Chains A and B, each alone.
Chain A
């Protein structure tokens, strides 16, 4: 144990079964970011059960998108988990998830979820808001995290919605393009976030 700490660097995890791999990873610069996409059964405790194998196998949880509003045709709830771990450990985490009976849909490096907030303004209700939302969700790179709607002059008049989306890393521009087309088609005004620069 004390030998391992000396050779493997700062790891406090007792389950290092391949010390030479661990030290190679350490020399490599440490942690990489990964995303796993899971489908959970809609039962209490499922989310916790899915997260345990990740932390137990050396993964550090970064963020969790629990898409309750986006239930799959089989009645499962998609969950996207961003984590970081030493590159050598990622396969072990995925195996542990599968061993625990968790349905892993997709697993890979750097499919980090970005968040994107936009406003939609116009006759949101008359242009079928639920259709608008399901159109957005059909974009494989985006899922709706939440929506706030205000219609100060009644549902028949102009209303505004703030929509927060989880977007796959590097795909924000394509998601925005789809949103522009959707807004154009329905005569809605899309207010996009200002991106670019460091701000």
Chain B
């Protein structure tokens, strides 16, 4: 397949880097200012483009616009997640679907905020939409739900944000307060300079909204989620939990009725108490009990793996 990648952050560049292993070609790679595009029948010089990106040079001479003119089969939408209108990601998906191309998203915005519109565009298009990479990074969550069929899944619960989980794990292990551990996480590169969306539950909520949309076939956006973050959890709360064999995790919960994200008590040695930046997802099924998947919920190559698996699932 010929892939056009929008967004040249950790995920976009990793997709470009790994695509050839999966037998795909890159015909365009764009960041917010410039793009490298292939001539008809060719592909871009991926190592050259990645080297330029790493050196903070322009990716190429073209603009993002030129990517849509290439002979791509699949648009990889890996621009940063935005809320509300979810632009420019949503517009990118719309353009590709209207041109009867497939869309694979790593960007959570369009599938969390404008799911129904995106599905309408898909219905009118010969292309299809997939977004495994938007939930749980490398962990196969949506494909598992798809295999079980969404009707047979009653709820999905999970630790869906590695940064928040790292902070809670360190606080519990060391008895340190939130601010201290957050600074440590930033030094380690586990937390971003502005960690707001990770610690206030927004990121986990977006994933919960996407899951609820998959279970209920749409109808939800971030505004429907009940969200609480971890900022006011003191070490003393983690201590009290530990005395009782429990700990606190930021858990996202999605059902057909809605989305809830907040700090919850879970058994200290139970499946949900993954440590560090690990994520875990529990899929509660009607006939087969609970299924658990855990692994890396973020990271360039990890998320790119989910993107490329989606490309492989396209019709």
Q: List A residues at the B interface (Cβ < 8 Å).
A: 117-119, 121-122, 148, 150-152, 158-162, 164, 189, 191-194, 196-199
Contacts and interface: CB of A to CB of B under 8 A. Distances in A.
Given A150-B239, A158-B234, A162-B244, A193 B284 contact: no
Given A158-B234, A160-B234, A191-B264, A119 B240 contact: yes
Nearest 4 Cβ contacts at the A-B interface: A160-B237, A162-B240, A194-B264, A160-B236
Contacts of A193: 246, 264-266
A199 B282 contact: yes
Given A194-B251, A196-B155, A119 B265 contact: yes
Contacts of B45: none
A117 B157 contact: no
A121 B284 contact: no
B232 to A, nearest CB: 6
B23 interface: no
The winner among A118, A148, A192, A197 for most chain B CB atoms within 10 A is A197
Contacts, number: 84
A194 B236 contact: no
Given A118-B265, A191-B263, A196 B236 contact: no
B263 A197 contact: no
Interface in B1-59: none
A191 B290 contact: no
Contacts of A122: 232
Contacts of B248: 119, 191
Given A152-B236, A196-B253, A199-B272, A119 B155 contact: no
B289 interface: yes
Contact of B237 (A117, A119, A194, A198): A119
A199 B264 contact: no
Interface in B234-259: 234-237, 239-241, 243-244, 246, 248-249, 251, 253
Contacts of B251: 194
B267 interface: yes
Contact of B236 (A150, A164, A197, A199): A150
B233 interface: yes
Contact of B240 (A148, A158, A197): A148
Contacts of A118: 265
A198 B265 contact: no
B154 to A, nearest CB: 9
Contacts of B244: 117, 162, 164
B189 interface: no
B173 interface: no
Contacts of B271: 199
Given A121-B232, A121-B234, A189-B232, A198 B241 contact: no
A197 B289 CA distance: 8
A157 B151 CA distance: 48
A117 B264 CA distance: 11
Given A151-B236, A162-B241, A192 B264 contact: yes
